Amino acid sequence: MFSTAFLDLPPLASVQGSVQLPGSKSISNRVLLLAALSQGTTEVRDLLASDDTRVMLDALRQLGCTVDEAGGGTVRITGLGSSTPPSPTQLFMGNAGTAMRPLTAALALLGGEYELSGVPRMHERPIGDLVDALRQLGCRIDYLGNQGFPPLRIAHAGGLPPLQLQAPIRVRGDVSSQFLTALLMALPLVARQQDVVIEVVGELISKPYIHITLELLARFGIAVRHEQWQRFTIPAGSRYQSPGLIHVEADASSASYFIAAGAIAAGASGQKGIKILGVGLDSIQGDIRFVEAAQAMGARVTGGPNWLEVARDTWPLKAIDLDCNHIPDAAMTLAVMALYARGTTVLRNIASWRVKETDRIAAMTCELRKLGATVEEGADYLRVTPPAQSGDWRAASIHTYDDHRVAMCFSLAAFNPAGLPVRIEDPKCVAKTFPDYFEALFQVAQTDADRIPVICIDGPTASGKGTVAAAVARALGYHFLDSGALYRITALAATRAGLEISPDNEPRIAELARQLPVRFAGDRIWLGEEDVTDAIRTEQAGMNASRVSALPAVRGALVALQHGFRRLPGLVADGRDMGTVIFPQAPLKVFLTASAACRAERRYKQLISKGISANIADLRADLEARDARDANRSASPLKPAQDALVLDNSEHTIDEAVMQVIDWWQARQPFGA
Ligand code: DC
């Protein structure tokens, strides 16, 4: 996940390959509860790992289910069958509405005493309509705080009271469909002798979510009948039957970004667009109908039971005029696709956007305009006309309003024909449904290497460049190349192979360097099977690296490896010749230096803090010797690139140096303040 303040997306060109989407939140928690109410073991695959599912899994354990988290999204749940959970039990539901509501209904119909509470925000989320429906049945439920809100107590210490199952149970359908879902999932517990009927009062909203509930109940052996979505009948004799194995579909709204990318981006040469895994054309989620809208705009979409394949077909896309009531979330993606259409796209019947994570009509209007589009916003519609020509596109910093969908759909603006970057503010807001969204995008998107930004930070030994470069990389969400480590590892590999570091052995050491089995994993560095992080950091290893790096053939052998670090979304590279030789076109080059006295003192403190004894005068002599060799060698001598900005940090803290580099970087970006 990117937890940086902003994430700059370089202009993107094409997509190829496949992407596995995370499981749907709505489906994940429904499946867990149904598995818990069944007899026997259900293996759930591709479960979403999120706060909401964590809460549900913990609650199910407390209630006596065996929960075996096998890893890789697979969880095996052994259900309660006919046993009753331990009671009294106190359950903490965090802020997981998808756990709170259905568990309240299920526990109220299982017998026993339970208290359900959550974080303060949970105690502001209504549950009164559900409690009213359960009380009609004869359940005894007390509010422990405010009337109509959690926390609450289900007071069936003496067992389940007699229930009134003859009359239909009435529940409001116009506030949240989650109350109806909760009843539908729990009432089969008591539909033994007679049919149980639920009547919806008021117009039922969010029918697609009730559709998901009914489909999943069917997978667990419960065939609910309904008349016009107003009257639902759970037939007498219903019993939860585990399907044994069940896959959680990927989130169909999340699929919309990759469907759009496939429709917008040219496929890489010889490729057929992008494959999306985890959700297919037979999906039970309403947002899968986004596929039809994308096709109407010109996408070529094919698919099977658990996959979709999307490629660009009509280009530019066709503008559409669409009632989007059936795909409210995914329709935001259409608003960004409209930037690539000929003509004006109108999205209608989207009033619900105004009451989502943010006022999405206002947000989309404001951000689309920043990119150069002409946008008309209505109470319940949006008209989007793209920038007239490629020169009318603007580089924009997209505000994301703590709304995951705003962040994800605007990433698609990076495919703009003007080759402009796009800045996404607060990229971590995608965590709500898709924590690794940007990683997934970078995995399937390509662009010319020279469009991927590189910041070079070169300088003499102990100037602090490694620390500064790593911090700059963290702040920008960029990859990090410690090129010195490659010379240190080469020297280590040579020593291990019994090769003396001398010009005589140059071809053999170069051969070693070319095939270096090096792997950077977090802050550890591996050479083959060995963690060499500490072994390459000794003074001796630094000296050997300096000697090995003076061999031109070795330097040549490491070039391709270093270029390979230039990956989306960007790179910060530190070394001696990053700006002069390896990335001569880099848009920012910094030469970080400090006086020899100052660097010797820093190195001294560093060693002492690690418990290694040292002598300042010796250290200074050593690093002056290394400087001299690095600066005087014939191959890529250490010197600032002509266009480098020199930063002497003798008097600066690391933080100040980092801030200076980021300021220089920001000043070169096209985004306004
Ligand atoms: O940055 P460092 O101290 O880890 O580098 C070790 C040696 O490797 C250094 O003395 C010079 C050499 N080096 C180089 O020649 N070119 C680079 N880009 C990085 C390091």
- In this prediction, residues 579-591 reach a mean pLDDT of 97
Q: Which residues pair with 199 in a beta bridge?
A: 170, 231
Indicate if ligand 1 lies below 6 Å from the C-beta of 575.
Answer: yes
Q: Which residues pair with 562 in a beta bridge?
A: none
For residue 550, the SS3 value is coil
Q: Any catalytic annotation for residue 329?
A: yes
Q: Give the rounded percent of residues in the chain with a pLDDT score beyond 90.
A: 84
Chain centroid, CA 205 distance in Å: 29
Atom of ligand 1 nearest to the CA of 466: 1
CA of 666 to the centre of ligand 1 (A): 28
- In this prediction, residues 158-187 reach a mean pLDDT of 92
Sheet harboring 397-398: ordered strands across?
Answer: 6-9, 422-425, 397-398
Q: Residue with the nearest Cα to atom 15 of ligand 1?
A: 549
Indicate if ligand 1 lies below 6 Å from the C-beta of 488.
Answer: yes
Contact present, 580 and 564 (Cβ < 8 Å): no
pLDDT band at 630 (very low <50, low <70, confident <90, very high): confident
Contact present, 308 and 301 (Cβ < 8 Å): yes
pLDDT tens readout for residues 374-411: 999 999 999 999 999 999 999 999 999 999 999 999 99
Instruction: Report CA-CA distances (Å) from 364 to 72, 334, 368, 403, 647.
Output: 36, 11, 6, 11, 41
What single-letter amino acid sits at 49?
A
Kindly state the tokens that stand for 24. 């749907």
Question: Residue 10 pLDDT more than 60?
Answer: yes
Atom of ligand 1 nearest to the CA of 461: 3
Q: In angstroms, rounded to a whole number, what is the distance separating the alpha carbons of residues 451 and 433?
A: 29
Burial environment of residue 419 by CB neighbours within 10 A (0 to 12, 13 to 18, 19 or more): middle
CA of 482 to the centre of ligand 1 (A): 9
Contact present, 361 and 352 (Cβ < 8 Å): no
Give first-to-last CA distance, the chain, whole Å.
25
User: What is the pTM (predicted TM-score) of this model?
Assistant: 0.88
Is beta strand 112-117 parallel, antiparallel or unpaired with respect to 89-92? parallel
Count CB neighbours of 655 within 10 A.
Answer: 10
pLDDT band at 504 (very low <50, low <70, confident <90, very high): very high
Question: Residue 429 pLDDT more than 60?
Answer: yes
pLDDT tens readout for residues 306-347: 999 999 999 999 999 999 988 989 999 999 999 999 999 999
Q: In angstroms, rounded to a whole number, what is the distance separating the alpha carbons of residues 200 and 231?
A: 6
Kindly state the tokens that stand for 403. 């709304």
CA nearest to 307, candidates 247, 223, 379: 247
Q: Residue with the nearest Cα to atom 9 of ligand 1?
A: 546
CA nearest to 436, candidates 444, 301, 336: 444
CA nearest to 251, candidates 66, 394, 414, 52: 52
Name the catalytic one among 46, 52, 287, 329: 329
- pLDDT at position 673: 53
Question: Residue 549 pLDDT more than 90?
Answer: yes
Indicate if ligand 1 lies below 6 Å from the C-beta of 461.
Answer: yes
Mutate to test the pocket of ligand 1, among 487, 593, 639 (most ligand atoms within 8 A of CB): 487
